[in-house]
Amino acid sequence: MTEVNLLAVIAMLSSFMLGSARAAAAAIVDTQTTPAPVVTHGGHRYTLAFSRATDAGWHVVRRDADGDTVLTADLPGHHWIWGTRDNVLLLLSQANADGGAKGWRTHRMLADGKQFTRVHADTVADGYVDRSPDGQTWAAERRVGAHKRIVFFAENSPSMRVFGAEDVPHDDADPQFSPDGQRLLFRSNRSGAWELHTADLEGRNAAQLTRDDTNNTVNPHEYGGEGPPRWSPDGKHIVWMRKFPERGHDLWVMDADGTNAKPLTDNGTIDDAYPSWSPDGRSIAFDSNRDGNNEIYVMNADGSDVVRVTDWPKADLAPVWIRID
């Protein structure tokens, strides 16, 4: 999350970040407006998990058939979900049970909230976190010198490896492994503006996917230009959030080689953000402030049939799909 500082988001919402963590985050906390958007794929069932602003801070929530369950209710600090692999949630957390330095660290836990585990001791920046399809390598963003760079690391490894060359005058952010694990999708300002790129895992054979100079000069504290991208499950398409001057964020989709880009939403100053493909590739979940505050929505992969999923008085953000059986 290069332009959006998650700590700044937390500060803006500090007016309702009061009270006891356990009291605010206990049990079922939402009356859902639609049935749980369960997707069946490959013989397994999937539902949504997302980040929720509560009186106690940001917590990770799973949508269930009878309401919403807060998975991080008994954990101190803020918790922000950024991805999934099968039935494992990939998140950033400020929980510092070991008394270490404050900051965001990569963690994982199961879809039922059990086995909450710190992945690496070092802090990382507040952006996308991913784990390779084979489960061996994690990717996150971290400040290296004067710039944010993507780093690779193994669970419990003492070291991190910088993606590409270390001494380059640009920022790379929001990494995601391709479904086959051979390439990385990410944002970068290496061309002078924030655009979407892919490269192999050594940083070679890079390809710039987007080229739109009109949308990269917005507020640097927002996702200017091309926002965080997501591969489709079959690796053939990419969905992302795009910002134009004098507009909110819209969701766009394109082929994996950068061709055939088209908008999925077109809502003026409204913000539609953080899209996530369902495992069958037929639906996209996202958050939006189209009804006032940020809620979770689901639509068909072509942008049709938008349905609001949550109804929470503060904010629900950044949905992902998680296997629940």
Query: What pLDDT is stored for residue 271 in this prediction?
Result: 93
In degrees to the nearest 10, what's the CA dihedral of 35, 248, 255, 89?
A: -50
**CATH number of the domain bearing residue 265:** 2.120.10.30
Domain count, the chain: 1
Q: What would the pLDDT profile of 139-188 be if each residue is shown by its tens digit?
A: 999 999 889 999 999 998 999 999 998 788 999 999 999 999 999 999 99
C-alpha 258/C-alpha 238 separation (Å) is 8
Q: Is residue 1 part of a domain?
A: no
Q: What would the pLDDT profile of 22-78 be if each residue is shown by its tens digit?
A: 233 333 333 345 666 889 999 999 999 999 999 888 999 999 888 899 999 988 889
- Which residues are paired to 310 by β-bridges? none
Q: Is residue 286 part of a domain?
A: yes
Domain that holds residue 18: 6-323
Q: What would the pLDDT profile of 196-219 be if each residue is shown by its tens digit?
A: 999 999 999 999 999 865 544 433
Q: How confident is the model at residue 104 (pLDDT cuts 50, 70, 90)?
A: very high
